[in-house]
Structures are given as structure tokens and as C-alpha cells.
Structure 1
Amino acid sequence: MKREDLLDLNAFAAVAEDRSFTRAAAKLGTSQSALSHTLRRLEARLGVRLLTRTTRQVMPTEAGERLLATLRPALDRISDELSALSELRDKPAGTVRITCAQHAAETILWPAIERLMPHYPDVCVEVSIDLGLIDIVAERFDAGIRLGEHVARDMIAVPVSGEKRMAVVASPDYLARRGTPRMPQDVTAHSCINLRLPTLGGLYAWEFSKAGRELKVRVEGQLVFNNVAMILRAAAAGFGLACVVEDQVLPHIADGRLVRVLEDWCEPFAGYYLYYPSRRQPSPAFALLVEALRVRG
């Protein structure tokens, strides 16, 4: 196979998977026009149309789907082998792509990156901040970091934090005006600041547990965010109750901006895990990051 054949096939795979010349061009570091020319050249050489192009989207044809199904495992194997070659270097090298939520990125991933990067100049880490539970295989991520309850069973899961707790909070002014909830059901009579979950398309149902009893409560209020920092800002401004992971709000509680309620109904649950496909062959750079993140017993 000629070198340009491999490059053209890789370009086709990027466009077919992203369903977009714009996103694929950005990923490959080329222009849309150059990428379009590459795909037309490949189609002419093969004598078959691989992509259907419209003004709104790009979709693989039947031939394109067949080629992609054959091509992707082969490209994955090549990528794994290239990554494995870094074992021959004095130090690990390569790029590691990880997706996680903002909280995990700030409190777990960044401290590990900050420790490692100065000692491994040939390792690059790309972090994608996303609340959604995306498919890391389809989106070409090496791993993700999520709460244990959200990790699929067919994934290798490595604990990267201790247990977590939720915290329900409000400003002193709000509680003085509206009263303090004593039971989880009481929050339905309050103004609550909601969190939008992008993957499920719905609002987070507040979860409570005590002595084996578990409750989920749907709450309502004037404000909905997909960002915890904005939720805490609104709560501190007196717009209602908020429910967030405990360590995200401890500084606000310590300085008196927010007051915690229903603490006895917020029991510990499984913390964050780094997860990746069991069939994945870890590169030295990836293995290095896993060990830096792993929580020791």
C-alpha cells in the first residue's frame, strides 16, 4: 500500500465518523477544501462513492459503511502499535485523550497532570470537559472519569477518588425567608436550582438516602444550569436550594455564604473512577497517567 493510500483512508475514516468535513479537518490539522479533494481522489481511485454530501450533513454510503467497518479496526491496531513503540524510548511519549466533568478535571485530573508533565515532556494530555456520558470508544477517547454508578460494566474501572457525598445548601437569607427543610420531601415546596443533564436531556433528580432508605425527588424552580459554578452562584444570591457534590461547596459553607441542610440524608456513595475498554492495549503514556491517578488502598 502506498503512503498516500493510508493517508486518504485515514481521512475518509475521520469524515465518516464525525459526519462533518469541518470537524474532521480540525482533527486532522488540514483545511476543508484539501480534505474534500482527498476524498474525491479516493472515490475516483476506488470507482465508488463513499460519502453522501448535503448542505447539512455528510453520511457514508453503503460502500462507505462497509469500508469503515473494515478500516477502523485496522487503523486502531496501527495506532496501538505506534503507541507501543514509545516503550523503546527512554521516557513515555504520545497523546492521551480523556473526557470528564469539570469537578473531576479540577480536583482529580489536573493535580496528576501538574505533577507528571514537567517530568515527561513527550507526553501530551488532551482533556475534554463534558457533563454528558459520551461513548468514549465512538468518540476516540482513551478513557473517561465518571462517578462509579455511571461506568459501564464492560469497562476496566480504576478508582481515582474516595467516596463522595451530596450536599443540599442555601443562603442564610433564603432559609430565613422560606424556612429550613427537615425531610427530603420538603424540598418540593421550595424554589430549587436545577441541573440539566445533557446526555439524558432531563433534569437531575435529587437523590437522598438514610439507613437503607433511598429517595429521588424531582424539584422545581426559576433557574436551570448545566454548570455547577453557576448553580452555587445562584444559591449564594438567595435564589433557592442547590444540590451538589459536597467538596464543591465546602468553601462556601466555611465562609458562611451557604448553609447546609438535610445532611443526615446525604450518605456516602461510590466516588470517581477512570474507565477504559477492556480490549484496549494501554500505551506507556496512558499507563503512566493511570498509575498517577489510581487511589491506593
Structure 2
Amino acid sequence: MSNLPLADLDAFATIARLRSFRAAGKVRGVSASSMSEAMRRLETQLGVRLFNRTTRSVTLTDAGERLLERLTPGLAEIETALDAINSFRDRPAGRLRLNVPGIVARNILPDIATRFLQAYPEITMEISVNDAFVDVLAEGHDAGVRYEEALHQDMIAIPLGPRHQSYVGAAAPAYIERRGMPSHPRELVHHEAVLHRFASGRTISWTFERDGETITVHPQPRMIAESIDLELAAVRAGLGIIFTFEEFLRDDLASGALLPVLPDWEQAFSGPFLYYPSRRYMPAPLKAFVDFLRHDRTSENRFICNRSVNVKLP
């Protein structure tokens, strides 16, 4: 067992994290068949099956779960040790692994990520999209991006992207012509809604606040989906009213394809934060990204403060 190849162990951890041979191969720059061969070698040496493979899914066996649990801290230590060499380089190199929600992946991160990678050509960025709060270290990520209400107080957080965002309502002209334009949130209980369901299975009620008055509405759903593209298609077809990130609706509202609903009741909130655990040795790619966000002045990040903050929640 002392001659187990480190590369195969790292390949195992990547497959286990992504639950896909193909996705793991893309991350490592090899084919899915190469990843499969590495796992055959590893399972042969260990004498146990590590994965249950079907045409639809890849899951860990009990032995695989135990190996991943014991292996993850060791691989992290090795990566940290190798990353320390970056301090002797002119420019940092390595892999930056982020976990971000869908709105950030679609509307905020593209511009930031491309400019960061152009500035640091020897850094590779690996991005997972997940709307649920995750333990970034346990999931194999260096950092995550979430909104303030989802941050834990033991995390270091710095602003990323716009400092203010809003939830807005919209409906197709055909729907408004058929059902009428609501003038108050309470009227929404008589309307049909297109709702978003998060990966956790949770859908959220619509909450409105104005002049000290807070109203929570549980609308009647005509569609519940986990895809903003499906939701927008339904709204454009006149199937109901949607309340979502203003960024998702901006073009449709500007073109007149959708009409604003209850614009005086828009919900404003702070923009997203990059969060990561407080630890003594920060990986060089993450440190470079944090410094980049702090000093970026070419986009909405010009509003970012110049110091990290510990986010305190009730």
C-alpha cells in the first residue's frame, strides 16, 4: 500500500467531489477514460470498490466514503505545502476553486472572472454552481460566494460585485390584460405566480416592505422550476407573475416584453460576498483573487471596501 500513486488518489478525490468521471477529466485536462483507468488501478491496488457506477450516476461506496474522509485533509495539506512555493514565483499559479450561486455565475462573475484570469494567466479557476450554503472546505472549494443572510459568522467575507441588488416583479402584457395589474401586494393572492425552487427543495414566499409596513404573500404557483430560463419563458408566455433578481428581468423590462409589477415595493438588499475560512496560510490563487477584488476599479467592484470584514449574523 505504500506505493499508492498520489496522482490516482488525487484523481479519486476529484471524481468523488464532482460525482462525474467526465467532469473530473475536464478539470484535470484528461479524458474520462483516463480517469476511469486511474480508478481501476487504484481499486485493484486497494482490493475494494470505491465507486458505484451506472449510466446515470457515480456514487461512493462505503469504502470510498471512508477513504475520501481520511484523504481530503492530507491532500489539502499537500496542496498547501506546494502552494507555499508560489511565494518564490513572480506570479501566483495553481487552481482556485469557487462555489457560487446561479445569479452570481450568470450575471456577476463572468466579467470579474475573465479579467482576473487575464491578469493571472497561470491560475486556473474551477467554478461550481450551487444555490445552497455549503461547507467550502468539506466540499473541496477554496472559497464560496453567498449573500449576507447565508454567511456564517466564523467566515471572512469581502464584497464581490454590485453592492446593492434588488428583487423586482414582472409579468407579460398579455397576462396583465387578462388578469389586471395588482396595485398592492395583498392582491397577489388572487394572481398566478412563477416560482423558483432552490436546490434544497425550498421555495420562498414573497415579502414586501415599504414605509415600515411588511407584507408576506404566498402566491398560487402556476409553475415551480429550478431554472430561470424556464421561469422566464413561462412569464413571457403570460402564465403568471415573477419576482426575481432585477438582473434577470432587465432586458425584458427595457424592451417591453415584460411590464413591471409593484415597482414601488421592490426589495433592495446588499450584494454578494466572497467568503472563506480564516486560516493562517491562504492559498496563493485565493490570495490573488482577494487582492484583485479589493483593488479592482474597472467595474462595479469600484465600490468595494479596502478591508475584509467578519460578517456577524443574529
TM-score past 0.5 threshold:
yes
CA contact (8 A) 1:99 1:141 kept: yes
Cα distance per residue 1:53-84 (max 9 Å; x no partner): 698853334x973x655443222111112122
CA contact (8 A) 2:11 2:35 kept: no
Aligned CA distance change for structure 1 residues 176 and 69 (closer, same or farther; 3 Å): closer
Cα distance per residue 1:108-133 (max 9 Å; x no partner): 22112222323322111122233333
Shift of 1:20: 6.0
Shift of 1:170: 0.9
Matches within 5 A, 1:139-218: 139-160=139-160, 161-199=162-200, 201-218=201-218
Taking structure 2 as the reference length, the TM-score comes to 0.78
Aligned length: 288
Amino acid at match of 1:177: R
CA RMSD in angstroms, aligned pairs only: 3.1
In structure 2, the residue matched to 1:94 is 94
Matches within 5 A, 1:1-297: 4=4, 6-7=6-7, 9-10=9-10, 13=13, 17-18=16-17, 22=21, 26=25, 29=30, 30-43=34-47, 57-61=59-63, 65=66, 69-160=69-160, 161-199=162-200, 201-279=201-279, 281-294=281-294, 295=301, 296-297=304-305
Shift of 1:164: 1.4
Q: What stretches of structure 1 of length at least 5 have no aligned partner? A: 44-48
Q: Which piece of structure 1 moves more, 94-103 or 285-294? A: 285-294
Aligned CA distance change for structure 1 residues 34 and 77 (closer, same or farther; 3 Å): closer
CA contact (8 A) 2:17 2:140 kept: no
**Percent of paired sites with the same residue:** 31
CA distance in 2 between counterparts of 1:195 and 1:83 reads: 40
CA distance in 1 between counterparts of 2:180 and 2:198 reads: 28
What SS does the aligned partner of 1:222 have? strand
CA contact (8 A) 1:184 1:262 kept: yes
Q: What stretches of structure 2 of length at least 5 have no aligned partner? A: 295-300, 306-314
CA distance in 2 between counterparts of 1:19 and 1:232 reads: 29
Shift of 1:50: 8.3
CA distance in 2 between counterparts of 1:121 and 1:216 reads: 48
What SS does the aligned partner of 2:169 have? strand
CA distance in 2 between counterparts of 1:248 and 1:273 reads: 19
CA contact (8 A) 2:11 2:38 kept: no
Taking structure 1 as the reference length, the TM-score comes to 0.82
Aligned CA distance change for structure 1 residues 162 and 36 (closer, same or farther; 3 Å): same
